[in-house]
Amino acid sequence: MSSRSEWLASTAMTAVVVLLCAVTAAVTVTGSVVEYPWLDACARVFMVGAPLVVGLYARRRPASRRFGDLLVFAGAGWFLAGLSSSDNDVLHSVGRVAGWIVEIGLVYLVLAFPSGSLDRYDRALVRGIALVIGLLYLPTALLVEQYPTPSPWTSCTADCPGNAFMLLADQPAFVDDVVRPLREALTVLIFAAATLRLGGRIRHASHLLRRTLTPVLAVAIFRLCALATGIAARQLAPGSSVTEVLAWLIALALPALACGFLVGLVRWRLFMAAAMQRLATRLRGHPGPEDLRSALAEAFDDPTLDIVYRLEEPEGHWADAGGRTIDIASLDRGRSVTEAFDGERRVAAIIHDPALGLDQAFVDTATAYAALMLDNHRLAVQTSALLREVRSSRARIQAAADQERRRIEHDLHDGAQQRLVALRIKLELAAEQAAEGNGSDSEMLRALGREVDEAVDEVRSLARGIYPAPLAARGLVEALRAAALRTALPASVLAAGVGRYSREVETAAYFCCLEAMQNADKHAAGATAVVIEITDNGALTLDVRDDGAGFDVAVTGGGIGLVGMRDRLAAVGGRLEINSRPAGGTHVRAVIPLAVDASGATETAGAPA
């Protein structure tokens, strides 16, 4: 329905309410026999207008629209009952009969609040009052000369208009002797049962449902007491002022009941508005499954609220955030289940207080948050899996590169280097043999031998650069000290509490420091020394400092050397920091986290990628 159509419908219903109230006031003023007819008219208008206005208010929201429609129909029935104040026989008779029928709607309203629907016990009570009205009240409209007074629907007593529907010449005696006491006793019993039914519902209801039921119960109990006392007083002293006061109390209990409905609805709406605000405050950022569950439970004041998720295996089963399987079909009757859908697929279900299920705002909000959180959680899991795969791939590539370096170093050592050494020996023997005959040939062979020595030194140096033997034999500190002796820029290595680590960690740390020393040697203009400090305090920390000219980190981009350093460190879960400023030297820091086993001891394998 469009907004214009809703506006037209609301305007039309408001006009009908005003018209009914105006007719009620006119009928009451013209037919009233009390001293202040306008006061009587105001009371009757209140009796008719209160349920109509509350009904229009209730039907504005989907959760209470059905009940609002019932309340509007009840208000229309109370308008007909208000015709009892007329001095016209027909209108007066119509009003008195309508007043009996209204009692059926009253029982229905009390039991149907706030959802607008009845269970089988409630329907039994409504059928009971309908049978009493249909069998013991309505037929007497054809048998009596006048209706019983005083009545909640009229202010007249002895001078009331006659019964326009009477068919007999004389009123049968059994009506006053049998029918009237029986029907009034049954009416009191049914109203007592309805009140007890409502009281039992409140006693077993959650504190959420009590927010709306308590005002209605209070008014229903008041009307029951007033009705029982008024019926007894009418039998004992029909013309007394006490009986007339009780009649007015019974009459005013009807609009009071409508006001009780209004108080319950308003309290519920205020609670839902505050709950939505609390929920929006709690769910800032990126909540997880447990965060969403606790936020919904706290915001909507339902500590037992839970969220379960659809499992693909086994199909059709549900599990909570902790992975425990939940059978929602066997839940307690005091819990309700609202399912959340992702398109046509069921993805989650919210187990909550039944009172929350009556409000569409809660249903829409909770299911939307559940579906959105599930999508976010799924994306986060997929992203984490991709990151783990990238890190694993980087680690595998780095390990393969290191293995290839070790193979090349081994091949150079066992292959080219050995052949060059053998060639050097053969050249020396040839030189000794040539010395016996031709001195120039001997000198030439010895020159070739020196060149072979230089080639052997170059091969050894290359092999050490590819994978340093001291790193594998004596560890990170000794390998760096050996490398520091070969640098052109004086370098020193300081170590505290540093032991042996996994091959991956030591290789990444060694080449990171080696690259930092080479950068200082090449680019740190004016540097006089390089200091390498290595510490192990739960994480392997490498600090390489020089006192050179420095540079602006924000302006100078990182070359292939820095990229290689970052990749090596990232492969073992480490990170690289570079701090430098012009004329302030350069500080390169690398941090490699070390895993901790279940006993609290530090593992040497480095943090998992």
Q: Which two tokens stand for residue 597?
A: 């086993």
How far is it, in rounded angstroms, from Cα 229 to Cα 150?
13
109 and 242 co-located in one domain: yes
Q: Give me the domain span that covers residue 321.
A: 286-377
CA distances from 109 to 126, 217, 401 (A): 10, 12, 81
Question: In this structure, are residues 114 and 140 in contact, taking their beta carbons and an 8 Å threshold?
Answer: no
Residues 5, 8, 12, 18, Cα dihedral to 10°: 130
Give the residue from 274, 303, 330 where a domain finishes. 274
Instruction: Give 3-53 as a DSSP string.
Output: HHHHHHHHHHHHHHHHHHHHHHHHHHHHH--SS-HHHHHHHHHHHHHHHHH
How far is it, in rounded angstroms, from Cα 133 to Cα 135?
6
Q: What are phi and psi of 339, to 5 degrees?
A: -95, 145
- Check pLDDT > 60 for residue 564: yes
pLDDT of residue 605: 45
- Is the residue at 400 inside a domain? no
* Pairing mode, strands 345-352 and 306-310: antiparallel
Residue that has been written with the tokens 């001291």 in this structure: 470
pLDDT of residue 78: 85
The amino acid present at 426, given as its one-letter code, is K
Torsional class of 273: left (φ above 0), alpha (ψ -120 to 50), beta (otherwise)? alpha
- Is the residue at 338 inside a domain? yes
359 and 249 co-located in one domain: no
How far is it, in rounded angstroms, from Cα 318 to Cα 332?
16
Q: Band the pLDDT of 393: cuts 50, 70, 90.
A: low
Mean of pLDDT values over 255-266 = 83
- Is the residue at 191 inside a domain? yes
pTM exceeding the 0.75 threshold for the entire prediction:
no
pLDDT of residue 127: 93
pLDDT of residue 599: 44
Q: Which two tokens stand for residue 119?
A: 């269970």
Domain count, the chain: 3
How far is it, in rounded angstroms, from Cα 284 to Cα 436?
95
List the CATH number of the domain containing 547. 3.30.565.10
How far is it, in rounded angstroms, from Cα 516 to Cα 527?
13
Q: Band the pLDDT of 138: cuts 50, 70, 90.
A: very high
266 and 342 co-located in one domain: no
138 and 246 co-located in one domain: yes
List the CATH number of the domain containing 195. 1.20.1070
Average pLDDT, the chain: 78
227 and 325 co-located in one domain: no
What would the pLDDT profile of 509-531 be if each residue is shown by its tens digit? 988 898 888 888 888 888 888 99
Give the residue from 210, 241, 274 where a domain finishes. 274
65 and 158 co-located in one domain: yes
How far is it, in rounded angstroms, from Cα 475 to Cα 497?
13
164 and 310 co-located in one domain: no
- Is the residue at 427 inside a domain? no
- Is the residue at 300 inside a domain? yes
115 and 151 co-located in one domain: yes
pLDDT of residue 17: 85
The amino acid present at 476, given as its one-letter code, is L
Quickly count: other Cβ atoms within 10 Å of residue 327's Cβ: 9
How far is it, in rounded angstroms, from Cα 370 to Cα 376?
10
- Is the residue at 394 inside a domain? no
Q: Band the pLDDT of 462: cuts 50, 70, 90.
A: low
256 and 364 co-located in one domain: no
First-to-last C-alpha distance (Å) of the chain: 57
pLDDT of residue 128: 93
- H or E stretch including 358? none
> Which residues does 404 contact at the CB level (< 8 Å), separation at least 6?
none
How far is it, in rounded angstroms, from Cα 292 to Cα 286?
10
In SS3 terms, 465-490 reads as: HHCCHHHHHHCHHHHHHHHHHCCCCC
Q: Which two tokens stand for residue 175?
A: 């009506």
- Is the residue at 410 inside a domain? no
44 and 175 co-located in one domain: yes
How far is it, in rounded angstroms, from Cα 492 to Cα 412?
30
- Check pLDDT > 90 for residue 130: yes
Q: Comparing 384 with 513, which gets the higher pLDDT?
A: 513
Cis-peptide, bond into residue 150, ω within 30° of zero: yes
- Is the residue at 226 inside a domain? yes
297 and 185 co-located in one domain: no
Question: In this structure, are residues 221 and 214 in contact, taking their beta carbons and an 8 Å threshold?
Answer: no
Residues 235, 241, 242, 245, Cα dihedral to 10°: 110
**Sign of torsion, CA 594 596 601 604?**
negative
How far is it, in rounded angstroms, from Cα 489 to Cα 548?
11
The amino acid present at 115, given as its one-letter code, is S
108 and 238 co-located in one domain: yes
Give the residue from 227, 247, 274 where a domain finishes. 274
Q: Band the pLDDT of 600: cuts 50, 70, 90.
A: very low
- Check pLDDT > 70 for residue 598: no
The DSSP call for residue 607 is S
